[in-house]
Structure 1
Amino acid sequence: MVDGQSRSGPSPSRLAVIDAAVHRFLVARSLTVLRWSVGAVFLYFGALKFFPGLSPAEDLVMQTFDALTFQLVPGRAAVVFTAGVECALGVILLSGQWLRAAVSALGVQLLGILAPLLLFPGRLFDGPRHAPTLEGQYVLKDVILLAAGMVLAATLKGGRLVRGPRTARPTAPRGEAGSFSTDEKLRVVLEAIRDDRDITEVAAEHRITPDDVRRWVDELLAGATATMSPPERPNR
């Protein structure tokens, strides 16, 4: 016979622990995965341009360079130059070195990639009812690369993802925190502060609410502040 807990699936506290662990992983790794992904895309599509006929954007690159340079750069040379720049960007983004220069070059490169939207709108939106053609869709998806580049640029000055434990929902019914002794409360608070753990995860492990943990942290800090405050000098 299966009990009610088994039929209902994992308990809320266990789900909260899993959710907190996944959240910590995403905060710690998402920007790195984003950088690797953008680098891999540039490296792959850049390498295709070295081989005539393999890149679906080859003809579009030639025409864009003709328009931007007033036909000063020969078509094949423009494709090879673009391939070299994209491969270099890909390698730099994958390696994580010289990111400031890479992000600056990425911005210039993306402006060139999106230039056909202004230069050749009739060609890119020549489908039924002005729907984008295959080339148009190829260019439009680069808006995602533009957004990714903006995120990477934000990290150059120390920007990063941070955890926001105060947005978590309570994971256990209220009232259980009253059974904790002072020493037990202190141990819970130290777990949350000293180990830099997510408050939701700590609360779930002890079957209390995140608000209980926050309240205990505030009480500890308030007591520590009062203890460490300098004594008042007597009036003379």
Structure 2
Amino acid sequence: MNTATMITKLSGWLARHSIDVLRVSLGLVFVAFGTLKFFPGVSPAEALSVATLEKLSLGLLSGYAAQAVIAAMEVFIGLTLVTGKLLKTGLVVMTGALAGFFAPYVFFFTNLFPGAPTLEAQYIFKDIVLAAAAMVIGARALGARLVPARDRVA
């Protein structure tokens, strides 16, 4: 098999499967991080996530109730991504969750950046990648397709 044929086959396989692999792997990340939040004191982001939801809910949710809501939401998002069931609903919930993920930069900026970024600030920063992955998955869910270059119309 020559190089051009191998590249053509590989690009076709990637076009068919890479977004699904991205969807499932992102789902597993949400399930894993969400599951941790069901157990008090286990998630490294617990205090920050609870404080953020307390602010966002104007104090209606606090403590373990806030943490349980976040945990349930993240596990739900993850399961929709892993299974592909209720995917559009999961993506809508994820949009709200991602807004919440970045809210600490607004509410707690000086705590997160007392000079150099804290570990919590860096933890949130990785959510940019999750948001970008969600955009790709959302585009696919809304009908966009990734096609190999040879299949594109010029």
The verdict on a shared fold, with TM-score over 0.5 as the criterion, is yes
Q: 1:163 aligns with which of 128, 134, 148?
A: 148
Whether the 8 Å CA contact 2:37–2:67 is kept in 1: the answer is yes
1:55 lines up with 2:43 in the alignment: yes
Q: 2:118 aligns with which of 133, 138, 162?
A: 133
Kindly report the root-mean-square deviation, in angstroms, between the aligned alpha carbons of the 2 structures: 1.5
Q: Give a deviation string over 1:63-92, Cα, whole Å, max 9, x none.
A: 102211222212111001100111111111
Higher relative contact order (CA 8 A, sep 6+): 2
Whether the 8 Å CA contact 2:49–2:67 is kept in 1: the answer is yes
Q: 1:81 aligns with which of 32, 56, 69?
A: 69
Q: SS in structure 2 opposite 1:71?
A: coil
Q: Give a deviation string over 1:9-46, Cα, whole Å, max 9, x none.
A: xxxx7222222222111111111001001100000000
Of structures 1 and 2, the larger Rg is shown by 1
Whether the 8 Å CA contact 1:114–1:139 is kept in 2: the answer is yes
Counterparts of 1:191-202 in structure 2, within 5 Å, are none
> Cα gap change, 1:25/1:112 in structure 2, threshold over 3 Å: closer, same or farther?
same
> Cα gap change, 1:166/1:159 in structure 2, threshold over 3 Å: closer, same or farther?
closer
1:95 lines up with 2:83 in the alignment: yes
What is residue 60 of structure 2 aligned with on the other side? 72
Question: Hey, what's the Cα distance between the residues in 2 that align with 1:57 and 1:46?
Answer: 11
1:120 lines up with 2:130 in the alignment: no
Aligned length: 152
CA shift, 1:117, in A, is 1.1
- Residue identity opposite 1:161 in structure 2: L
Q: SS in structure 1 opposite 2:2?
A: helix
What is residue 28 of structure 2 aligned with on the other side? 40
Q: 1:104 aligns with which of 89, 92, 96?
A: 92
What is residue 191 of structure 1 aligned with on the other side? none
- Residue identity opposite 1:60 in structure 2: L
What is residue 149 of structure 1 aligned with on the other side? 134
CA shift, 1:98, in A, is 1.1
